[in-house]
Structure 1
């Protein structure tokens, strides 16, 4: 499988790292762990709305609103492996303790909560898709963007995000780099070319989420870089310009 695209703009948020300058520094200094400190502020979201959002949704929506402030887009895609797992975890605990569940928690526990908040706050009636494909969610979002661009759209915004993971999942989910949100504006082009290739037998365990792998590769001057889903699947990116 092969495809290509151009990137017009990008934004990202994570604990302790929020400016474009900080992200470029992180990309070019792989041995430095900058994911520490306080969560970034989300000034694009009204306070009353922010209070009702999970941490992941807050970062995702603020990233999307920041991109919408300077870009006109035709459609948006939200990708997340876990979605509102933080909120769902609280609902499960309440049920296990035979307590009543919060109507707000229940209504906002769906996977497309962040997408809905974006259209409500921005007041922009965008067609939006929400996708989950395990560790490969970000790359599958890029394939979805290819279909939308082929259907006539000029610019597509892709937001990949994760929130906090409930402690009950600590043994099965690496939360070292969570929460975060990465947003990119995509258009048709051939500056970046991607192909699906077999993973080498000696690949290390994948710890960095796909969108952060991609952002690190994109922000460096390397002519090519890889994005892995697991030990079986690898996406190889080549920069042509």
Structure 2
């Protein structure tokens, strides 16, 4: 599988890494420590709305609104490996302890919560979809965007995010680089080429989420970089300069 596209713009957000300049500096440090620092309040999301969101959804909506201020897009795709696990974890904790479940927590625990918040907060009836494909969620979102562009769409916004992980999942989920959100604007073109490649039986799976691997490679000066996809294959990106 091989395809090409162009990327018009991007935004990203994580604790302590807020501006494009901060992300460019982060990308130049392959052994950067896990995200740490202050989680800033959003200037675009009303306070009462932000308080109802999980951190992952707040990051996703915040950077999505930033890009929509500059670009008109035909649709938005949200991808997340864990979705609203932060809220779901609290619901499960309450159920296990026979405590009442908050109706607000329950209604905000579905996977497409962030997608809905973007259209509501931005007052933009934008077509949105929400995808989950485990570790490969971001790259499957890329494929969804590619199919939309091939069908005639002009610009697609892809937002990949994950929030905080409840402590009970610490042994099974690597949360070093959580929470975070990455948003990109994609169009048809041939500046970036992506190809799925087979991996050897034994290879190192990076702790970084796919979108963060992609952003680090894109912001670097190297012409070819890989985005890991788990145990069977990876995605090789190259620039057609």
**Per-residue deviation, 1:99:** 1.1
The corresponding residue for 2:165 is 165
CA contact (8 A) 1:206 1:231 kept: no
The corresponding residue for 1:107 is 107
Asked if residue 56 in structure 1 is aligned to residue 60 in structure 2, the reply is no
**Per-residue deviation, 1:100:** 1.1
CA contact (8 A) 1:17 1:34 kept: no
Alignment of 1:4-43 (within 5 A): 4-33=4-33, 35-43=35-43
Alignment of 1:192-207 (within 5 A): 192-207=192-207
The corresponding residue for 1:184 is 184
CA distance in 1, matches of 2:71, 2:10: 10
**Per-residue deviation, 1:204:** 1.4
Q: Which runs of 5+ in 2 are unaligned?
A: none
Q: What SS does the corresponding residue of 2:235 show, helix, strand or coil?
A: strand
CA distance in 2, matches of 1:73, 1:85: 28
Asked if residue 229 in structure 1 is aligned to residue 229 in structure 2, the reply is yes
CA distance in 1, matches of 2:188, 2:205: 32
CA contact (8 A) 1:16 1:34 kept: no
Q: TM-score scaled to structure 1, two decimals?
A: 0.98
Residues 115-134 of structure 1: CA deviation (Å, up to 9, x unaligned): 00000011111110100000
**Per-residue deviation, 1:203:** 2.0
**Per-residue deviation, 1:31:** 2.5
Asked if residue 121 in structure 1 is aligned to residue 128 in structure 2, the reply is no
Aligned-CA RMSD value? 1.0
Residues 194-228 of structure 1: CA deviation (Å, up to 9, x unaligned): 00001134521321100000000000111000000
CA distance in 2, matches of 1:41, 1:135: 29
Residues 99-118 of structure 1: CA deviation (Å, up to 9, x unaligned): 11000001011000000000
**Per-residue deviation, 1:231:** 2.9
Asked if residue 68 in structure 1 is aligned to residue 68 in structure 2, the reply is yes
Q: What SS does the corresponding residue of 1:81 show, helix, strand or coil?
A: coil
**Per-residue deviation, 1:34:** 6.2
The corresponding residue for 1:220 is 220
Q: What SS does the corresponding residue of 1:10 show, helix, strand or coil?
A: strand
CA distance in 1, matches of 2:41, 2:233: 35
**Per-residue deviation, 1:33:** 2.2
**Per-residue deviation, 1:44:** 1.1
**Per-residue deviation, 1:155:** 0.2
CA contact (8 A) 1:80 1:137 kept: yes
CA contact (8 A) 2:78 2:160 kept: yes
Q: Which runs of 5+ in 1 are unaligned?
A: none
